[in-house]
Structure 1
Amino acid sequence: MPPLDSIINVASVPQRSPFRYPGGKTWLTPRIRAWLASRPQRPAEFLEPFVGGGSVSLCVAFEGLADQITMVERDPHVAAVWQTILSDSAPELAERLVRFELTPANLEAALMSPATSPADLAFQTILRNRINRGGILAAGAGRIRHGEHGKGIASRWYPQTLQHRILAIYALRQRIRFLEADGMAILHDYAQRADVAIFLDPPYTAAGKRAGQRLYTYADVDHHALFACAAQLRGDLLMTYDQSPEIADLAAHHHLQTRLVAMKSTHHAQMRELLIGRDLAWLE
């Protein structure tokens, strides 16, 4: 496994999510593999209560690192995408994306049409995710203007790639369970399960951080309550957080270990994030 100060080349990691997701964790994939491999037993279930774009859960599912994967998301728009991809509507959604001709007029018509089913909402959500700057879905998000090579809103529009990813996830639907729910509530339900590995990547809104409020519709998280709950979990645990003294203090208060790990931001700036868990010896 790369040292903690080594930045993972995201291009070397399989891209499986249909989302462009702010704060996505594709870069963490090699460390997720190492974490789960360090366990004495393969997890009966892998739980991600704040799943968002789902890159970590998808890694676990595709690579068979746990028997069952449970993904939880509160945002109804993001939830509609996962619900549709894991249902028999997935092939239709994939085909609909391939057939769609992305022009400003077609885009406006598609986004203004009433969504009469989860599949309709999923289609609109993927459109917004692909044409908004940074893939941001929260209210007020701006659209791509110039984009790559002046391609504008088409800069991140790869319908055949989306089709391939959606159908690949659909093929694993028996292994993946999705819940549209409050991640905190689900976490309490799993408190006594020792056979579960839990990955927590909540919106970064602690210590006055405003990025989470701008990036996510459901950004409000009681971080003190989350740490108190995490400390009581019987299952194995890995958390990721923005580096801040408040979070380091919360971890120490609940007898959790922390390690700083190098990564690159969306704008390719070198940064460090906190990994948090009970025993992080596997990182050494």
Structure 2
Amino acid sequence: MRSALVMRCPLPRDTFLNAIPASRVPVANPASIPARSPLRYPGGKTWLIPHVRQWLAETASSTLVEPFAGGAGVSLTAVMENLVKNCIMIEIDRDVAAFWHSALGNGAVLRHIVYWFDLTPERLSAVAESSPKTLTEHGFRTLVLNRTRYGGNLARRASFMRNGENGNGLASRWYPKTLSKRLANIEAHSDRIVFMEGNAMEILPDLLRELGRDAAVFLDPPYVCGGKRAGHRLYNHSEIDHATLFALLDETGCNFLMTLEASPEAVELVTDHGFAAVRVKMKTGHHESAQELVITPSPLFEAGLGGTAASTREDRCRFEHS
């Protein structure tokens, strides 16, 4: 475990990103990255795929663990591009979990239902108000709501799209043939995908100790570390103890890549645990500029592999190590 820091130097909110270098890896053009997941999620990680490819190529892990799976785009990419032999996906949301259970365990039936579903306002309303009797029905309901609500938002208070893309309204994100092909591809790789439903914070400690250094862990917590607390609007499960998560990664010494919305609190945690981070400039769904942190145990994406958060901050603050 890295040595603990017993003295903290708070970072001013207006300059905290000065401690973090920009990533030398270019942001991916979404059109250049194959879409693997049928699910749409706020803050999708298509832009991150070049970072993921480089990370997995350099670490050569055989198993990828994705504790906050959601749409699981990174896990699917890693398996389908043979960047790892297999993956373990974990999800706490029962609706999302129902989708993955059905996609991996009953994919042919789910694919058939999706292909022949004619989306109309009346049918959508019926699906939204239904109480699924089977896991496959539940998974289908999740997919339909995810594809027809703003930003793929499954939170209970989310609203449906009105205008959609090119004025196509509710059906603007419902592509039965494309979704069926993605489901078929997932089914074809299902023997290399393990899905676990549950709380990642409870599952991870034993799982990481069992897998050891051979596992690579990708973490994209759908929660905000400080900042605007947008996660309360976007997710049904929007609370996580970031300090505990960082401490677990430090304690186990695992090979990980984490993304977090940039905030002073996130930079503090990166620095306190001696991790490395780079910043990536993004465009939000509202076309506003935002900064995302890409965090690893040691420098990987910095220009010249220098200027980690820890070393930069040491120039400005005096630390005492225990």
Q: TM-score, normalised by structure 1?
A: 0.94
Distance in 2 (CA, whole Å) between partners of 1:65 and 1:233 is 23
The residue aligned with 2:78 is 60
- How far apart are residue 164 of structure 1 and its match? 0.3
Q: Is 1:31 matched up with 2:51?
A: yes
Q: Residue 169 of structure 2: which of 130, 148, 152 is its match?
A: 152
Please tell me whether the aligned partners of residues 150 and 158 of structure 2 are also in contact (alpha carbons under 8 angstroms).
yes
Give 1:74-89 correspondences, 5 Å limit: 74-87=92-105, 89=106
Q: Is 1:262 matched up with 2:281?
A: yes
Q: Percent identity?
A: 42
- How far apart are residue 27 of structure 1 and its match? 1.2
RMSD after superposition = 1.6
Q: Residue 122 of structure 2: which of 95, 105, 114 is its match?
A: 105
Q: Residue 122 of structure 1: which of 116, 126, 139 is its match?
A: 139
* Cα 1:3–1:201 shift into 2, 3 Å: closer
Give 1:176-187 correspondences, 5 Å limit: 176-187=193-204
Q: Is 1:44 matched up with 2:87?
A: no
3-state DSSP of counterpart to 1:119: helix
For each residue in 1:177-217, what CA deviation from the matched residue of structure 2 results, as whole angstroms up to 9, or x when unmatched?
Answer: 00001111122113331111001111232214321111110
Please tell me whether the aligned partners of residues 110 and 140 of structure 2 are also in contact (alpha carbons under 8 angstroms).
yes
Equivalences, count:
280
Q: TM-score, normalised by structure 2?
A: 0.83
In structure 1, stretches of 5+ residues that fail to align are: none
Q: Is 1:221 matched up with 2:240?
A: yes
* Cα 1:96–1:191 shift into 2, 3 Å: closer
Distance in 2 (CA, whole Å) between partners of 1:62 and 1:274 is 26
For each residue in 1:197-249, what CA deviation from the matched residue of structure 2 results, as whole angstroms up to 9, or x when unmatched?
Answer: 00111123221432111111011101111111111123211111010111101
Give 1:130-279 correspondences, 5 Å limit: 130-192=147-209, 193-279=212-298
Distance in 2 (CA, whole Å) between partners of 1:172 and 1:283 is 34
Distance in 2 (CA, whole Å) between partners of 1:59 and 1:7 is 16
Distance in 1 (CA, whole Å) between partners of 2:139 and 2:51 is 30
Paired amino acid for 1:156: R
3-state DSSP of counterpart to 1:194: helix
Distance in 2 (CA, whole Å) between partners of 1:283 and 1:47 is 24
3-state DSSP of counterpart to 1:144: coil
In structure 2, stretches of 5+ residues that fail to align are: 1-21, 304-322
* Cα 1:253–1:3 shift into 2, 3 Å: closer
For each residue in 1:1-26, what CA deviation from the matched residue of structure 2 results, as whole angstroms up to 9, or x when unmatched?
Answer: x9637432111101010011112211
The residue aligned with 1:12 is 32
Please tell me whether the aligned partners of residues 208 and 215 of structure 2 are also in contact (alpha carbons under 8 angstroms).
no
